[in-house]
Structure 1
């Protein structure tokens, strides 16, 4: 996984680029009608229900726009919220609050939706040993905040990107000439370039699971689009030789049954690519 320093750098890039995109050469709506010295207050109002996420990111945005803006938080990351709740207040230069407004709302609406969906998956797995993972099926440019939201919702992060973990999927395997060759080539590559990266290998059926188990050094086997019976048999075959992960068209109706098969992880792209933003507003008062 990426380091905390790398993650913080990703957040800084998101904020810098988003403000560049949104503000350009100036927020002329505010500049035209609000004095530079005018002071104001605003509150983040919830108009929905779910799990709130992105409060700390909002702090970063406000600080980036104007270090003199002050936030008072009334709720914490991951708290359940309902219509009418106030998450935080912010006060300072009115122009600065308005400049930061849209980025704060866009990010928190998206992050809260992801955290809410993740929490629903986590709750469905209560009492099992299985943990929920996200994927790389994220919105280009804002992966860091989407994966942050998964953590806030109680899930765990899969690899952040292509560079922090090896995942040999069907296309890698086919291009490499088969599972065993793909694993051997990968291990030789890691040794040659002195990289310490975990290796996950995707299996499409039980025969591929058996072939993967013949190689040493595999961290996790990804059981892709297995049905329940195949998953149970794969878990039995794998035992404690490596971790197991189920993926592929798993939803709220099926996730518990896959967990009952005994897998360590269930990964779902739906956590980040199929959510509806939480309705939030930043209102002056």
Structure 2
């Protein structure tokens, strides 16, 4: 078991979720674009120094503890560099790592291995960093009913991969895009107020036009806005940048009439106390927008 710990000292645990793999065509599209960016006219160093017939073997190793994520991008990077490359994984996505853990064994064309190495590492290190940080957040909420969720604060073009990494760390996904669910945020409500209309009436009218399958969430930043959100038919009320005291009051006022979500200034130092207020969901942009890559290395053997 990894020795990485959260604030409480609890070890990070491998994900108990069965994270659904990313559609392979999406992975291949992202990885192919990354390879084209990194070697637009070929890998001239490897083509100059390494014979075309040269074969090699390598191991992918963790250089620090954490949670692994990246099997699909690693496989795709080496396969797209050369279809003859073979990758055997010894740890699956969501598995825990120690420094020195061998994650995969790779064999095939030496040129292809050198060409695909950086793309494979760049993506897998970032995804593993996200999974590791998510697991640390999840560990802080142990014993509560709160779920840790991501946000749309993802790297453009990599959202589908980063969302997968959150699941590998034991977290959950928020709406994937602006097209998936309604979220009436502060700027939406400010525009309604400026127009002199009743926000609750407009929200209720909007929800009435939606299919029953579309989730309806309303963000509030004051306690006195909660009843408006509920009157407007909110399925979830997002309590944004509330103090711990007001979060507890907000949960009491909502009293099960909608799901409660806390967001704003969520960090490893604050998430345990936020979870203790009784909220159902805690969304944290930090899971994806400012994560540190986990140190992985590829070594020829």
Contact 1:179 1:208 in 2 (8 A): no
SS of corresponding position for 1:167: strand
Q: Render the CA deviation track for 1:94-124: whole Å, top value 9, x for unaligned.
A: 1111121111100111111111110011011
Q: C-alpha deviations, 1:167-225, integer Å up to 9, x for none?
A: 1111111123363255246336536xxx9421111011111111111122x22110001
Between the aligned partners of 1:30 and 1:245, the Cα distance in structure 2 is: 51
Q: Note the C-alpha offset of 1:88.
A: 0.5
Q: TM-score, normalised by structure 2?
A: 0.86
Say whether the 8 Å CA contact 1:172–1:182 is kept in structure 2: no
What is the alpha-carbon distance in structure 2 between the residues aligned to residue 72 and residue 10 of structure 1?
A: 21
Whole-angstrom distance in 2 between the partners of 1:6 and 1:174: 37
Deviation >3 Å, runs of 4+: 4-10, 176-179, 188-191
Q: Is the contact between residue 19 and residue 103 of structure 1 (CA under 8 Å) also seen in structure 2?
A: yes
Residue 210 of structure 2 aligns to a residue whose secondary structure is helix
> Structure 1: where are the runs of 5+ without partners?
none
Once structures 1 and 2 are overlaid, which stretch shifts more, 180-189 or 92-101?
Answer: 180-189
Whole-Å separation in 2 of the counterparts to 1:9 and 1:244: 36
Give me the whole-angstrom Cα distance separating, in 1, the residues matched to 2:25 and 2:190: 35
Which runs of structure 2 are paired with 1:1-285 in the superposition (5 Å)? 8-177=24-193, 179-180=199-200, 182-184=202-204, 186-187=206-207, 190=210, 196-216=213-233, 218-285=234-301
Count of residue pairs the alignment pairs up: 278
Q: Which has the higher helix share?
A: 1
**Correspondence for 2:12:** none
Q: Which moved more, 1:48-57 or 1:255-264?
A: 48-57
Return the offset for 1:249: 0.5
